[in-house]
Amino acid sequence: MAVREVLKYPNDILKQDAADVTELTEEVKQIIQDLKDTMLDAGHSTGIAAPQIGQLKRIITIDASLNKKCKENHGFMVMINPEIIEHSGTVTSREGCMSVPDFTGNVTRAERIVVSYFDENMQQNVLETSGFEAILIQHETDHLNGMLFIDRVISKRTDLFRRKKY
Amino acid sequence: MDRQHYYALSFVNTDSKGIVADTTKVLFDNGFNLADSSSTLLQGVFSMIFIVTNDKDYKEQEIKDMFKNVRSHMEVFKFDKKPEKNDNGSHYSISVYGADKAGIVHAITDEIAKNNLNIIDLQTKITGGSPKVYIMILEVVSDNENNENIWQEALKKTAKEINTQINIKKIEFYEL
């Protein structure tokens, strides 16, 4: 088990593109384990992306079931090279992120997505999901493209908030 | 001594280019840090509120004098300690709209106060057409999630009595 430090903005790694994973090396397996350990150690986190622990690889881990209000979800998942291939609808929620600890922001995202990805065995899968789990995947996938939620806040005075507590 | 002193500064002026740059130059030149701010154009009036800190213990008039060459009406309020913010609880977005008439804001905010909700943001707009439509958008915080049906029904009843439409939506907060 290895809990890694979660990088915080303005660390420059968070603003860089992550590289595709081409094979399941020992390094990749270790990153997956570290992501899982770090996510669970944080206590309040439902997902994490490899750049958040300093690894510029296209890997995320999520567990929408850690949000008690999320009734329909697929539990813990590893997604390698995730790509959102279809989306529909919009939903606005207020997001917080471990890498931007002082703020929360209103972000509008797709309500329903179809995502293609490779699992921890490098088997290709396609998942259709909606609601909180879809928001979670979009948020974490953004990290792979150097995007933070504050990049998606519309420049309106009511959209960015100093965090109430953590 | 590293104690920070907190001041609220407000500025209003008819809108023109360069107001923000001129104002913040005075702040910067005098060693103020901007802790929080909100500025917006209200009708043709540009309104700025800054919460600023400084390690120097200024009198309110001393700060006013710093801005004597900035073309705005300004006020200064000095806090005797760091202003604490408490917005813990469930957040709700409320929008109210209807044909413009006197008393909409009072009726709604009075009901909000009676139900022990805390307003943390409030904006109102009035449309330019005829008949004019009044729009109010609020964010409120409730420290008791279990009574939301009671206060929401009370607010809806008040909105109906003054012939306005009301929408109440809980703001979902996601830790990702």
Q: What percent of chain A has pLDDT over 90?
A: 81
pLDDT at B131: 85
Helix and strand numbers (H, E) in chain B are 4, 9
pLDDT tens per residue across span B1-43: 468 999 999 999 997 899 999 999 999 999 999 999 999 999 8
**Residue B4 CB coordination number (10 Å):** 13
* Chains A, B: CB pairs < 8 Å: 46
B118 contacts on A by Cβ (under 8 Å)? none
Using the CB atoms, write b or e for B87-97: b if 16+ within 10 Å: beebbbbbebb
pLDDT at A163: 67
Residues A57 and A18: beta-carbon distance below 8 Å: yes
A6, part of any domain: no
pLDDT tens per residue across span A8-45: 999 999 999 999 999 999 999 999 999 999 999 998 89
With CB atoms and an 8 Å threshold, state whether A46 touches B174: yes
pLDDT tens per residue across span B65-80: 999 998 889 999 999 9
**Residue A33 CB coordination number (10 Å):** 15
Q: Is the pLDDT of residue A155 over 50?
A: no
Two tokens, residue A34: 């570290």
| Smallest Cα distance from A132 to chain B, Å | 8
Is A140 known to be catalytic?
yes
pLDDT tens per residue across span A67-85: 988 989 999 999 999 999 9
Domain regions of chain B by residue span: 5-78, 90-170
With CB atoms and an 8 Å threshold, state whether B176 touches A93: no
pLDDT tens per residue across span B32-66: 999 999 999 998 899 999 999 999 999 999 999 99
Q: Is the ipTM of this complex over 0.90?
A: no
CATH number at residue A59: 3.90.45.10
pLDDT tens per residue across span B86-145: 888 999 999 999 988 889 999 999 999 999 999 999 999 888 778 889 999 999 999 988
pTM score: 0.83
Q: Is the pLDDT of residue A158 over 60?
A: no
A126, part of any domain: yes
Query: Mean pLDDT score of chain A, rounded to an integer?
Result: 92
Residues B39 and B46: beta-carbon distance below 8 Å: yes
Residues A97 and A166: beta-carbon distance below 8 Å: no
A137, part of any domain: yes
Q: Is the pLDDT of residue A138 over 80?
A: yes
Q: Is the pLDDT of residue A160 over 70?
A: no
pLDDT at B103: 93
pLDDT tens per residue across span A51-63: 999 999 999 999 9
| B5-78 CATH choice from 3.40.50.720, 3.90.1640.30, 3.40.30.160, 3.30.70.260 | 3.30.70.260
Two tokens, residue B111: 């009901």
Q: Which CATH class is domain B90-170?
A: alpha beta
Q: Which of B85, B137, B171 sits opposite A94 (nearest CB)?
A: B171
pLDDT at B72: 86
Q: Is the pLDDT of residue A164 over 70?
A: no
Domain that holds residue A157: 12-162
With CB atoms and an 8 Å threshold, state whether B88 touches A165: yes
pLDDT at B2: 63
Per the structure, the count of domains in chain A is 1
A46, part of any domain: yes
A3, part of any domain: no
A5, part of any domain: no
- B5-78 matches B90-170 in fold: yes
Q: Is the pLDDT of residue A166 over 50?
A: no
